[in-house]
Structure 1
């Protein structure tokens, strides 16, 4: 007779096949199969009574379709809110461990791969994520007629999906979903698979699209900036629908370790974290599959951290070919819409992709920022949160609100800010910035390789459009290699510090503080190395700058270092090799406390 504990060790899980799932030492073991895994995963998760879940996937390829996925309405910051089809919906577990053993997960259609909410521990390793058909359109520019306003595109067909319907390009033409116009569009170098030198973002909405006898497509559309013949033109759809969901979404979770995870495609960001803490992303990546005919990996940021806290580490990772930043570490500003009483305010989210975000919870400490000053001033502890709807929330405090507070002033969450470290990473061949930094706590960026279309390291707290806080106070950027940066058509710099505040705020008051840019190597085709606006305390020291031939200089009259409305700037012990350019251009305010010493090859005239 077989002992009872042995019977319980290996068994079918409800209606699931024993060849797919088995339990051993409290670990659910999953074997590869050609079937759609979605319903099996859904039933496993929904029917589990455990608080601590461990799943091991035997090495292989697994297919996931959205038809029988778990459904849930989600507010996802910097994405489109709505009812999402979630494959792995981990919203009821204390801890989740997934051992992938280098397995490949292939998704299809509008699907959200992973969602974690209120998990106290998450550990995932050894998984590669891709889509069978990407949610992008791609074609080679064959001809351009600027006077008549058209361009001819030879479309990529293999591995892509699209149709021409009543003079409109519709893609990806999957399961009844289509973007009805190209939308966000960018030209890529066909050899390097990176944005073209001098490329501009295009919001494409042609008058009509004509299918020519040779199979090419003629887009009838006047543009401000036409893509060069021979480039690859990639589109990702209209802005209202082009960010369905990230590959990994974490809400109010902690102790997260992600290791050896690769994302080849995502319908939004690669990794997104909201109000989560203590996060490590190790030896992972968001990049194209080797030999792929695509040019886009994730359709938004590779990594994004919104109001997180604790310690964040990204180490030995590779982020390439995204359609937005390598990482964005930031908080959130909310605007005071109304003063309710001496302890209560009504707040308002301002950006359409912030709606429904959890700005604060009871016991959180917030800063009050009173216009016209962008300074963080008084603080108070939240006692109660009353959500009116996705845009408006009432916040009550344990003490009286500051005197003089008025509608239009803003709040920033002081409690939810992280320390951040990025080390040993490669970020390149993508649209936008390598890193965007907006946390007031200690930040270290070291020993990385960066190449950026726009500014490589970008500081922009802003109350203008995105309403992402805030000013930094302790940043060290050291021993990095910057290679071929700021090659967008618009003007950028390797290091760009540029707050963007609304008209009601003082446009000259200091904002970011204590940034050290030291011992970096910069190989550049252009002049712009540092642009700094409203900085108090910037050290530019020991950097080696070499001018090399990487393409035409897009802004030949620009200085190497430009300082505006800043103070306590030190430029010391740097070297420059290349043609003579103006080294430093400070305005009157910046000149008063500027220190320039022992730089080699600098032209001060």
Structure 2
């Protein structure tokens, strides 16, 4: 490096060492620059000599490109595993503080912004994240012809990148990368910048695409549901290639706090936590820039917690325009592959986006689940873990394995389950559910504002496909405001409780239990409020429900409340205003212990 460039680098990057006895920290101060910050930041991180570090950014705009980023192979749950280019590869620190001071980070290309692995006491504050070019395609629907099986779309060009080549649309056309197909596609209301009323997910694979006059593209494709004319059609590519990485991944870490962080765009989820303990997301946002022509922020969930423990708190946050849930809190089922001996069993991770996930460690307590029952049965403590490969793991236990353990049974990690609290948040204008809950420990959802395309609140443990565990046992949902919920074309409810179990499991057995839905305000255009399946203990009390006329009902014959194979359900002291012809539907099993009293309007 020349003397001049070395001096220039020192102007951009000032590394200060400060010592205050036992609280010594290495402080890195980053100055704003118009240059690619990736190599500058990498040099700073590689020269850190302390396990306690404070990185401070001057307020300004920082651009990051992938060319000189740190690279390694990453296992990232609910994303694609593979080689990733990481800007902040933070590993093994006793404490990490990143102070943004209002800095804006603009990323280009396939980049994994933040990874905290094996860290303690992580704090990230006061910065925003965006991409110069999103990895998506958008276009205004000009005309549709279902008889001739085509739709005309005028693509967005400002801020987007695509190319038509041999009758095929190539996007995002960034650094030589393109998706192999249009893939997941959804229509958005142009004015509201949210999924259209009654919208359906479509997996798009046009036979061919032709260029028409006026910059119009004609997509030749038979669809079951064509998008409304005037809507914004959005595509994000195929399932196995459209979740590169989250904005923030916290893995095998503890005591993490994110505050005043805004994510305008990400190539996967916003905040992803795996096998981590204690987390706070406070005053953070996932939403579009003011005046943006985009309709999507994160490609997947705003927040996601997989096999975490301790206390999780999300407070005073705003999540909008994601292509999946506001949050998903769950554990992981693994399936028994082979009983090796009286103390050792080989298990397999069953979903492709779980491969490489650390299901269990030494001293973890594990529940055994024996088909056909999905109930948690006996417990045992892990004494050794041997990883066979990214799919299979051998677990050795302190005590003898259950004599009836057979291939196809499930294991669930008891140790790694969190308490979860969400309060003071606003979640709206996105695909899928506001919150998905699957942890047996205490859950409190209070004082939030929710609006959802699908069910606002979903309880769904799964013994197949995603294999997400977590039958709930203690849930309080109170003092929330629900408005304009379940506007997907598929049938949902404001709160939907519906375990999804494999064919080899008992479909009549209770799964979730002890859920209280109290003192909430609900204003909705459609009928379904609570739809519950296989719940033991459900109280619906003191809710104010108003039928609105601001949108067309999608399922006008559906009941307000429907209960299938439930026990100890109470519907008490609720007030309903509006027309309804079918208030409560319950099967014979539910009726045996169903209490309905002191309600008004139904």
* TM-score class normalised by the smaller sequence: over 0.9
Q: Give the SS at the match of 1:278.
A: strand
In the alignment, is residue 27 of structure 1 matched against residue 20 of structure 2?
Answer: no
What are the residue-to-residue correspondences of 1:480-491 with 2, within 5 Å? 480-491=480-491
1:286 and 1:273 map into 2 onto residues whose CA distance is 16
What are the residue-to-residue correspondences of 1:380-459 with 2, within 5 Å? 380-459=380-459
Q: Deviations over 1:387-422 (max 9, x none)?
A: 111111111101101121100000000000000000
Q: Deviations over 1:146-190 (max 9, x none)?
A: 011110001000000000111111111000100132100000000
1:360 and 1:464 map into 2 onto residues whose CA distance is 19
In the alignment, is residue 166 of structure 1 matched against residue 166 of structure 2?
Answer: yes
What are the residue-to-residue correspondences of 1:2-13 with 2, within 5 Å? none
* Contact 2:95–2:122 under 8 Å retained in 1: yes
Partner of 1:333: 333
Partner of 2:552: 552
1:253 and 1:43 map into 2 onto residues whose CA distance is 24
Partner of 1:17: 10
* Contact 2:527–2:580 under 8 Å retained in 1: no
Structure 1 residue runs without a partner (length 5+): 1-11
2:383 and 2:248 map into 1 onto residues whose CA distance is 31
* Contact 1:499–1:511 under 8 Å retained in 2: yes
Partner of 1:5: none
Instruction: Note the C-alpha offset of 1:583.
Output: 1.1
2:355 and 2:308 map into 1 onto residues whose CA distance is 18
In the alignment, is residue 579 of structure 1 matched against residue 584 of structure 2?
Answer: no
Partner of 1:47: 47
2:377 and 2:68 map into 1 onto residues whose CA distance is 50
Q: Deviations over 1:368-395 (max 9, x none)?
A: 0000001001000001111111111111
Partner of 1:229: 229
Partner of 2:65: 65
2:562 and 2:399 map into 1 onto residues whose CA distance is 44
Partner of 1:299: 299
1:594 and 1:274 map into 2 onto residues whose CA distance is 39
2:577 and 2:416 map into 1 onto residues whose CA distance is 43
Partner of 2:268: 268
What are the residue-to-residue correspondences of 1:4-403 with 2, within 5 Å? 16-23=9-16, 25=18, 26-403=26-403
Q: Give the SS at the match of 2:340.
A: strand
Partner of 1:525: 525
2:331 and 2:212 map into 1 onto residues whose CA distance is 49
Instruction: Note the C-alpha offset of 1:24.
Output: 5.8
Q: Give the SS at the match of 1:341.
A: coil
* Contact 1:168–1:180 under 8 Å retained in 2: no
Instruction: Note the C-alpha offset of 1:259.
Output: 0.2
2:13 and 2:390 map into 1 onto residues whose CA distance is 41
Instruction: Note the C-alpha offset of 1:464.
Output: 2.0
* Contact 1:13–1:21 under 8 Å retained in 2: no
TM-score norm. by structure 2 comes to 0.97
Instruction: Note the C-alpha offset of 1:581.
Output: 2.5
Partner of 1:493: 493
2:161 and 2:401 map into 1 onto residues whose CA distance is 55
Instruction: Note the C-alpha offset of 1:237.
Output: 0.5
Q: Give the SS at the match of 1:332.
A: strand
2:14 and 2:114 map into 1 onto residues whose CA distance is 19
Structure 2 residue runs without a partner (length 5+): 19-25
Q: Deviations over 1:63-92 (max 9, x none)?
A: 100000000100000000000000010013
Q: After superposing the two structures, state which structure 1 stretch, 74-83 or 20-29, moved more.
A: 20-29
1:402 and 1:379 map into 2 onto residues whose CA distance is 9
TM-score norm. by structure 1 comes to 0.97
1:354 and 1:477 map into 2 onto residues whose CA distance is 30
* Contact 1:314–1:421 under 8 Å retained in 2: yes
Q: Kindly tell me: are residues 596 and 45 of structure 1, through their superposed partners in 2, closer, same or farther at Cα, counting changes over 3 Å?
A: same
Q: After superposing the two structures, state which structure 1 stretch, 21-30 or 122-131, moved more.
A: 21-30
Q: Deviations over 1:175-208 (max 9, x none)?
A: 0100132100000000000000000000001001
2:54 and 2:111 map into 1 onto residues whose CA distance is 23
2:16 and 2:46 map into 1 onto residues whose CA distance is 16
Instruction: Note the C-alpha offset of 1:338.
Output: 0.7
Instruction: Note the C-alpha offset of 1:361.
Output: 0.4
Instruction: Note the C-alpha offset of 1:13.
Output: 9.5
Instruction: Note the C-alpha offset of 1:15.
Output: 9.2
Partner of 1:8: none
* Contact 1:169–1:180 under 8 Å retained in 2: no
2:44 and 2:30 map into 1 onto residues whose CA distance is 11
* Contact 2:471–2:511 under 8 Å retained in 1: yes
1:164 and 1:425 map into 2 onto residues whose CA distance is 41
Q: Give the SS at the match of 2:352.
A: coil
Instruction: Note the C-alpha offset of 1:20.
Output: 2.6
Partner of 1:4: none
Instruction: Note the C-alpha offset of 1:22.
Output: 3.5
Q: Give the SS at the match of 1:44.
A: helix
* Contact 1:544–1:576 under 8 Å retained in 2: yes
2:389 and 2:328 map into 1 onto residues whose CA distance is 27
Q: Deviations over 1:543-582 (max 9, x none)?
A: 0100001211111110000000100000000010001221
